[in-house]
């Protein structure tokens, strides 16, 4: 609770002081003017710092370079009506191996790196007793509308979203959202729910199987579409 009020006070200070004051004594993770660091666990300032990365491509790329992630920049371009890539990267490996490369905006890639470091791997070790080695996904970039809202583009249309389907562990076990979400008391079900809650600290929007049938087989993780965790 004390940390929450400390962060709230810093946010108020940010609104009323246009330039950074003397930063002495403020830890970087609680300093709203300090760049985001992937080594720091997400807190209430994380959305503010992620938003800043969306406005400063050079800063975003510098932050992303802190992650054990293999990526290459891709040119800004239109990918369809109302769909555009801007400041995006092609990811061939995250902290984990991936089944196939995918595209994400730089800031979404930073969010993914935060989630993997501070939620996914710790939860796997604690709840399943083995590290995650591979991430299975259902894709990122897709020039389409939100399924339930025709005429409104999905965050997938800008590569600001990733659909995560499951994981392979170091001992060979596989955990999938489709198979394992339903049993909330089993270790795999608890693991997936921990990942869902943790993603809400690293992304703007998170949808899981309890939201609707369209998400029965994946966790939808996005930036830029509003704050929600369902």
Q: Would you place residue 5 in the very low, low, confident or very high pLDDT band (cuts 50, 70, 90)? A: very low
Which of the four pLDDT bands, split at 50, 70 and 90, describes residue 202?
A: very high
Which residue carries 């369809």 as its tokens? 80
**Which pLDDT does position 118 carry in this prediction?**
97
Outline where 24-100 has alpha helix (H).
Answer: 46-55, 57-64
Which pLDDT score, from 0 to 100, does residue 149 have? Answer: 64
pLDDT of residue 151: 61
Tokens at 46, concatenated: 């994380």
Mean of the per-residue pLDDT values for the chain? Answer: 88
pLDDT surpasses 90 at 18:
no
Is residue 20 over pLDDT 60?
no
List pLDDT tens digits, range 28-41.
889 988 999 999 99
CA distances from residue 176 to 11, 172, 191, 216 in whole angstroms, order as listed = 38, 13, 10, 10
Distance CA 170, CA 203 (A): 26
Give the pTM.
0.87
Question: Is the model more confident about 168 or about 146?
Answer: 168
- The CA–CA distances, whole Å, from 15 to 7, 10, 24, 52 equal 13, 9, 19, 14
How far is 76 from 198, CA to CA, in rounded Å? 30
Give the percent of the chain with pLDDT over 70.
87
Residue 156, CA distances (Å) to 64, 77, 87, 172 in order: 20, 15, 14, 31
Whether the predicted pLDDT of 79 surpasses 70: yes
Strand partners for 166 = 136, 176
Strand partners, 229: 206
- Judge contact between 192 and 175, C-beta under 8 A: yes
pLDDT > 90: percent of the chain: 68
pLDDT at 121 over 50: yes
Whole-angstrom distance, CA of residue 65 vs CA of residue 62:
5
Q: φ, ψ for residue 154 (rounded to 5)?
A: -70, 155
Asked if 219 and 208 count as a contact pair (C-beta separation under 8 A), the reply is yes
Question: What was the pLDDT predicted at 82?
Answer: 84
What is the structure's pLDDT at 148?
62
Q: What's 78-108 look like in SS3?
A: EEECCEEECCEEEEEECCCEEEEEEEEEHHH
């Amino acid at each position: 609770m004390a940390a929450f009020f400390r962060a709230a006070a810093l946010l108020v200070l940010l609104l009323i002081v246009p330039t950074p004051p003397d930063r002495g004594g403020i830890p970087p993770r609680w300093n709203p003017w300090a760049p985001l660091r992937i080594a720091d666990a997400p807190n209430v300032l994380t959305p503010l710092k992620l938003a800043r990365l969306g406005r400063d491509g050079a800063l975003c790329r510098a932050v992303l370079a802190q992650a054990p992630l293999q990526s290459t920049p891709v040119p800004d371009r239109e990918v369809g009506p109302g769909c555009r890539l801007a400041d995006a990267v092609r990811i061939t490996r995250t902290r984990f191996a991936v089944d196939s490369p995918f595209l994400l905006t730089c800031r979404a890639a930073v969010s993914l790196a935060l989630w993997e470091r501070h939620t996914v791997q710790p939860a796997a070790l604690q709840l399943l007793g083995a590290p995650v080695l591979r991430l299975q996904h259902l894709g990122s970039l897709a020039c389409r509308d939100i399924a339930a809202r025709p005429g409104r583009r999905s965050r997938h249309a800008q590569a600001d979203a990733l659909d995560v389907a499951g994981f392979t562990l170091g001992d060979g076990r596989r955990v999938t959202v489709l198979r394992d979400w339903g049993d909330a008391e089993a270790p795999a079900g608890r693991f997936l729910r921990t990942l869902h809650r943790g993603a809400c600290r690293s992304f703007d929007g998170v949808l899981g199987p309890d939201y609707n049938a369209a998400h029965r087989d994946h966790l939808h993780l996005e930036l830029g579409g509003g704050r929600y965790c369902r």
